Structure 1
Amino acid sequence: MKAYVAGVGMTRFEKPGTREWQYWDMVREAGGAALADAGISYNEVEQVPVGYCFQPSTAGQRAAYELGLTGVPVYNVNNNCATGATALMLARQLVEGGGCDCVLALGFEKMRKGALGAGADGGDLAASPVARHYGIMAARHGFAATPPTAQIFGGAAREHMERHGTTEAQLAAVAAKNHRHSVHNPYAQFRDAHDVDAVLAAPTVHRPLTRLQCSPTSDGAAAAVVVSERFAERRGLGGLTEIVAQAMVTDTAESFASGSCIDVVGQPMSREAARQAYERAGLGIDDVDVVELHDCFSVNELLTYEALGMCPAGESGALVESGATTYGGRWVVNPSGGLISKGHPLGATGLAQAAELVWQLRGEAGERQVPGARVGLAHNIGLGGAAVVTLLRAA
């Protein structure tokens, strides 16, 4: 059975503390918008997977109860930064498997100001689920006093530079592109354009990554209504977007065997998830028009170009410099501004990517519209780890 996204919604992503709101307020706004977009009521929803990383158990219920008290099953989902896409994947599986006709996927995060600690819980590194990942980094690059996530991705950036000749300007070009794209996104945390020189001149977080190349902590929520074909026909729903294929891959031995930060931050997971999604869809990267990928740090966008098959290994720096991944190029990558500029409330990110792609494929993205977009790809990754690749097509 096919699964379709019938409605999407999200809040603006904001710096923590910008608004006096609770996570359930965010979900009421984003979930209510998705239901309204689909043209259905919460009473028609049969199950609700809810993604988040920082709130306690059953926070999903507390949030979903703002939309209605109908007794439906609620699942609390945590997969680090890949949480939002994981919630969407569960919704798709419930519909494709025939167990449900209408599922609401929710994702939210209310974060603390400042950089993340050793893991999503900000706790002790030795006890962190990502201790093995950071151990690989420390063995090769040492361990500094800067934020651990910036260190591990900074290590990946330096390795890419050493191995392939990638330049700091090419890394900065990723951030400059995404900041430029976010100018036209009313949901983005940052809406100021910055050129390559400004990105390079920003304070260094961990060499070679400057502040403007790092995604911020953010508050926000996003949601998607996933329905079956029979439900859509019965309710006369329009504006559908088909979830053509989706794949999740977790760490394999390849993540750790090389001792490389490029592998440990997830490039092998992303590559395999993309391969599986392409195979299931009967599509390839050449069929894709618009991409929302997980640019938690600028280097991860370059690593993901290679993992998705957009260019051979080592050529991603030249690809972004060529203009191939912005308007007028072969693909438009992160028209929303990506995590770097739109923001990164962990549990909401994957669903916000889906929302952006749905708007793009419907032709409803306003000034950031990608002309003629028919097929979109979302890539959401979390250390610890999980990579989710989703292919969407205008129905």
Structure 2
Amino acid sequence: MTYILGGWQSDFSDNWARRGIDMADAFSEAIEAGLDATKLDPKHVETGHVGNFVGELFAGQGLLGGFFGLVHPDFDGLPTSRHEAACASGSVAILAATAELEAGRYDLACVLGMEQMRNVSGKQAAANLGAAAWTGHEFGDAEFVWPRAFSDLTEEYDRRYGIDARHLRRIAEINFANGRRNPNAQSRGWAFTPESFTEDDDANPVVEGRMRKMDCGQVTDGASVIFLASPKRAADYAKQRNIPIESLPRITGWGHRSAPISYKRKVQASENQAYVFPQVKRAVDDARARAGIALDSVDAIELHDCFTTTEYMAIEHLGIAAPGEAWKAIEDGSIEAGGRIPVNPSGGLIGCGHPVGATGVRMALDAFKQVTGTAGDYQVDGAKTVQTLNIGGSTTTTVSLVVQAA
């Protein structure tokens, strides 16, 4: 079992290039702020993990584990590694750190997720992110690869079950509304009109196929960091601060599944199955099984809404609604703040922002905030159990975590 001691998230409205900082500067800023937030000493950190997708393409920078040594002299010699799983990179970094702690190699790990994405044009950013698709085999005719891929998913849902675009627009509206309450959300100050969440081609233009502007997660610069501890180290941490160890949240369950990189092959394989992406369902179920809980024990969910259709799919795969019936949970308010099971109280990728490598770590940090009652204006009342769902590519990699208060 792994404990979360705390962490820090950058302001996702920040533009690092405009501020005149690079990835190393942002890395140092995040680690230093995280250490301050948790009142940890650098010399006590025993291992470092970085989640990042395409630092080489956006900034010409790889080997990000080497940035730890720039932060503080005590990190010189620290064992570090970088993890890549497209949009699930941050969660995979968390899994690697927890494995080390559970194996007894180390007792205190630092996990940072980061991505710089706003230093290039929108078209170039889309091309860079297309590296997570099956290059040269799929979506070669698309101007924007991922809007096209999830437009195709919309078409697939329409073919199997029927889909009403108004429900996709409502998902966007809910997540932007949630983001307004999050002081770190990229869109917290954005202004919308009633037409923003309609089929109005001026207020909500088509990006690719059936995906419109408000259906899309945000291109974002951002970093998030968490500190993970073994039970022994967590007990010491609690004793030193004169707090009960029960006040520290734990990662009690995890699920990690991968599928073929081909979107078409995944969809063809599930043709006669209830769920479009069965490996997503398996990851969700694995996490709950390991935590020993069912959906009715989950108080809130942070899920991967890279597009509104992704959330529509996830609502079903998480069990909030039956296959083909996600619209019911949207119409009856189940997923809204104050609803039966609030989804993305942070604003998610649409409302909060999506610095790709940081997203999985940010989700875990938001889960920590929720179960410790420290989420501020977007706190879910009484939250004690939060599940995350982080997806890389066209569900090529899926990671789900369960974070619980003791």
**Aligned partner of 1:221 among 212, 223, 226:** 223
Question: How does 1:69-88 map onto structure 2 within 5 Å?
Answer: 69-88=75-94
Question: How does 1:61-76 map onto structure 2 within 5 Å?
Answer: 61-63=66-68, 65-68=70-73, 69-76=75-82
Question: Could you tell me how far apart the structure 2 residues matched to 1:92 and 1:196 are?
Answer: 45
Question: Could you tell me how far apart the structure 1 residues matched to 2:225 and 2:261 are?
Answer: 34
Shift of 1:329: 1.1
Query: What do residues 172-221 of structure 1 show as CA deviations (whole Å, max 9, x unaligned)?
Result: 11100000000011111111364774222311112322111101211010
Question: Could you tell me how far apart the structure 2 residues matched to 1:348 and 1:89 are?
Answer: 14
Q: Is the 8 A contact 1:156 1:261 kept in 2?
A: no
CA gap of 1:193–1:169, structure 2 versus 1, over 3 A, is farther
Instruction: Tell me which moved more, 367-376 or 158-167.
Output: 158-167
CA gap of 1:118–1:227, structure 2 versus 1, over 3 A, is same
- Partner residue, 2:147: 150
Question: Could you tell me how far apart the structure 2 residues matched to 1:378 and 1:189 are?
Answer: 20
Question: Could you tell me how far apart the structure 1 residues matched to 2:283 and 2:145 are?
Answer: 25
Q: Is the 8 A contact 1:266 1:387 kept in 2?
A: no
CA gap of 1:242–1:107, structure 2 versus 1, over 3 A, is same
- Partner residue, 1:390: 401
Unaligned runs of 5+ in 1: 123-127
- Partner residue, 1:259: 268
Partner SS for 2:345: coil
Q: Is the 8 A contact 1:15 1:219 kept in 2?
A: yes
Partner SS for 1:103: strand
Q: Is the 8 A contact 2:86 2:132 kept in 1?
A: no
CA gap of 1:261–1:295, structure 2 versus 1, over 3 A, is farther
Question: How does 1:121-132 map onto structure 2 within 5 Å?
Answer: 128=131, 130-131=133-134
**Aligned partner of 2:65 among 57, 60, 69:** 60
Question: Could you tell me how far apart the structure 1 residues matched to 2:97 and 2:330 are?
Answer: 34
Question: Could you tell me how far apart the structure 1 residues matched to 2:317 and 2:18 are?
Answer: 36
Confirm whether residue 330 of structure 1 aligns to residue 340 of structure 2: yes
Question: Could you tell me how far apart the structure 1 residues matched to 2:10 and 2:39 are?
Answer: 18
CA gap of 1:224–1:97, structure 2 versus 1, over 3 A, is same
**Aligned partner of 2:249 among 241, 253, 259:** 241
- Partner residue, 2:40: 40
CA gap of 1:167–1:18, structure 2 versus 1, over 3 A, is farther
Give the alignment's Cα RMSD to 1 decimal.
2.5
Question: Could you tell me how far apart the structure 2 residues matched to 1:297 and 1:196 are?
Answer: 20
Q: Is the 8 A contact 1:146 1:205 kept in 2?
A: no
CA gap of 1:71–1:261, structure 2 versus 1, over 3 A, is same
CA gap of 1:34–1:257, structure 2 versus 1, over 3 A, is closer
Question: Could you tell me how far apart the structure 2 residues matched to 1:279 and 1:375 are?
Answer: 14
Unaligned runs of 5+ in 2: 56-60
> What percentage of aligned pairs have identical amino acids?
29
Query: What do residues 345-377 of structure 1 show as CA deviations (whole Å, max 9, x unaligned)?
Result: 111011111111111111111111100000001
Shift of 1:64: 5.3
- How many pairs does the alignment contain? 381
- Partner residue, 1:7: 6
CA gap of 1:129–1:331, structure 2 versus 1, over 3 A, is closer
Extract structure 1 runs of 4+ deviating beyond 6 A: 260-263
**TM-score, normalisation: structure 1:** 0.89
**TM-score, normalisation: structure 2:** 0.87
Q: Is the 8 A contact 1:6 1:224 kept in 2?
A: yes
**Aligned partner of 2:109 among 103, 108, 120:** 103
Question: Could you tell me how far apart the structure 2 residues matched to 1:144 and 1:289 are?
Answer: 42
